[in-house]
C-alpha cells in the first residue's frame, strides 16, 4: 500500500505536542455542542416571553385604565397604588401575620387530606367490594358544595382553628380522592396481565405496577386540592376569624381601605401560583422515580 504523502502545510493532531493536540480536539468538539445550547437557551427565552405577555398586558391595563378614567379609580385603584399598599402592610408586619395564619391552616388541612384521601382512594380503586359499598355515599357528598356546608362545620366545631382546618380538609379531600380512584381504575389492563403472567402477587403488583402508573393522575388531584386549600380557606376566615388573608380582605373592604384589599388579593394570587409551581416540581420528581 502506498504511503500517504503529507504536504509541507499539512499538520495533524498527532503531529502536535500533547497540549496543543488536546486543545485543538476540545475546540473541535465544542463547536457542534455550542449550537444546541444556544438553540435551547433561545427557545427558553421565547417561551418565557410568550408566557408572560398576557400577564404583562393585564398589569399594564390595570395601571392605565383607572388613570384614564375608563374604570373608577376609587373602586379599582391603579396597580402602583396597590403595590405601595402591599409594601406598607409588609413593612408594618400586618401582612406577614395574616399570611402566616392562612398558611398554617391551609397546609394543615391540605396535608391531612393527602394522608387520608390517597390511601382511601387506592383502597376504593383496587378493591371492588369497598368501591361498591362506598360509591353511593361518595356520589352524595361529592355533589355537595363545601361552601354550603361551612355553616354546618361552624355549628358543630365552633369558630376556632379546628373548624377552618377541618373545612380545608373536607374541600381538599375530594379532588385527591376522586383522582386517586380514577388513576387506579384506568391503569392499562395489559400491564396488569403482563405483571401477573410474570408471577407478581397482589402486593408486588400493586407496588410495582398500579401505584407507579396512577401517580400522574393522583398528582392532578393534588394540584387541584392545593388550589382549593387556599380558596376555600378565605370563606372560613371570613367567619369568626381575627387573622388570615380572608379576614384581611373582609376587614379592609368593610373599612373602605380599597388598596389594602387589593394587596390581600394579590398576595393570595401570588401564593397560589407559587404553591402550584412547588407541586409541579414535586410531581416531576415523582414522575422521574416512576420511569427509573
pLDDT digits (tens, 9 = 90+) for 243-261: 888 889 989 988 899 999 9
Clarify whether residues 150 and 179 are in a common domain.
Answer: yes
- Please indicate, yes or no, if residue 3 is contained in any of the structural domains: no
113-136 pLDDT tens trace: 999 999 999 888 888 888 888 888
Q: CA-to-CA distance for 170 and 225, rounded, in angstroms?
A: 10
Instruction: Tell me which residue range forms the domain holding 245.
Output: 79-291
What average pLDDT is seen over the chain?
A: 80
Phi then psi for 9, rounded to 5 degrees? Answer: -90, -5
Q: Quick one: DSSP state of residue 194? A: H
- Please indicate, yes or no, if residue 1 is contained in any of the structural domains: no
CATH of the domain at 136: 1.10.3720.10
Q: CA-to-CA distance for 58 and 54, rounded, in angstroms?
A: 6
Q: CA-to-CA distance for 254 and 268, rounded, in angstroms?
A: 19
> Of 132, 112, 113, whose CA–CA distance to 123 is shortest?
132
Clarify whether residues 135 and 33 are in a common domain.
Answer: no
Confidence band of 172 (pLDDT split at 50, 70, 90): very high
Clarify whether residues 63 and 87 are in a common domain.
Answer: no
Clarify whether residues 138 and 271 are in a common domain.
Answer: yes
Task: Give the count of domains, the chain.
Answer: 2
Clarify whether residues 29 and 120 are in a common domain.
Answer: no
- Please indicate, yes or no, if residue 74 is contained in any of the structural domains: no
Confidence band of 36 (pLDDT split at 50, 70, 90): low
Q: CA-to-CA distance for 244 and 234, rounded, in angstroms?
A: 8
Return the half-sphere exposure (C-beta side, CA atoms, 13 A cut-off) of residue 280: 7
Spatial contact of 164 and 233, defined as CB atoms under 8 Å apart: yes
177-188 pLDDT tens trace: 999 998 888 877
pTM above 0.85, yes or no: no
Residue 96's pLDDT is 92
Confidence band of 292 (pLDDT split at 50, 70, 90): very low
Residue 279's pLDDT is 84
Amino acid at each position: 500500500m502506498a504511503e500517504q504523502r503529507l504536504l509541507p502545510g499539512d499538520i495533524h493532531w498527532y503531529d502536535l505536542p500533547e497540549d496543543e493536540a488536546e486543545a485543538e480536539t476540545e475546540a473541535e468538539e465544542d463547536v457542534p455542542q455550542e449550537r444546541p445550547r444556544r438553540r435551547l437557551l433561545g427557545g427558553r427565552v421565547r417561551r418565557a416571553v410568550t408566557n408572560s405577555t398576557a400577564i404583562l398586558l393585564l398589569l399594564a391595563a390595570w395601571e392605565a385604565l383607572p388613570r384614564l378614567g375608563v374604570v373608577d379609580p376609587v373602586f379599582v385603584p391603579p396597580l402602583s397604588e396597590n403595590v405601595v399598599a402591599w409594601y406598607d402592610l409588609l413593612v408594618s408586619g400586618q401582612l406577614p401575620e395574616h399570611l402566616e395564619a392562612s398558611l398554617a391552616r391551609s397546609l394543615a388541612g391540605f396535608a391531612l387530606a393527602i394522608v387520608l384521601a390517597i390511601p382511601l382512594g387506592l383502597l376504593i380503586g383496587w378493591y371492588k367490594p369497598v368501591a361498591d359499598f362506598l360509591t353511593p355515599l361518595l356520589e352524595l357528598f361529592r355533589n355537595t358544595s363545601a361552601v354550603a356546608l361551612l355553616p354546618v362545620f361552624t355549628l358543630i366545631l365552633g369558630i376556632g382553628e379546628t373548624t377552618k382546618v377541618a373545612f380545608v380538609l373536607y374541600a381538599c379531600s375530594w379532588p385527591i380522592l376522586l383522582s386517586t380512584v380514577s388513576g387506579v381504575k384506568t391503569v392499562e389492563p395489559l400491564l396488569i396481565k403482563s405483571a401477573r403472567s410474570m408471577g407478581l402477587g397482589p402486593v408486588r403488583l400493586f407496588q410495582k405496577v398500579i401505584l407507579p402508573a396512577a401517580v400522574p393522575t393522583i398528582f392532578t388531584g393534588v394540584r387541584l386540592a392545593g388550589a382549593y386549600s387556599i380558596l376555600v380557606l378565605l370563606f372560613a376566615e371570613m367567619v369568626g376569624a381575627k387573622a388570615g388573608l380572608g379576614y384581611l380582605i373582609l376587614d379592609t373592604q368593610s373599612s373602605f381601605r380599597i388598596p389594602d384589599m387589593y394587596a390581600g388579593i394579590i398576595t393570595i394570587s401570588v401564593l397560589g401560583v407559587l404553591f402550584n409551581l412547588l407541586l409541579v416540581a414535586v410531581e416531576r420528581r415523582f414522575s422521574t422515580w416512576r420511569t427509573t
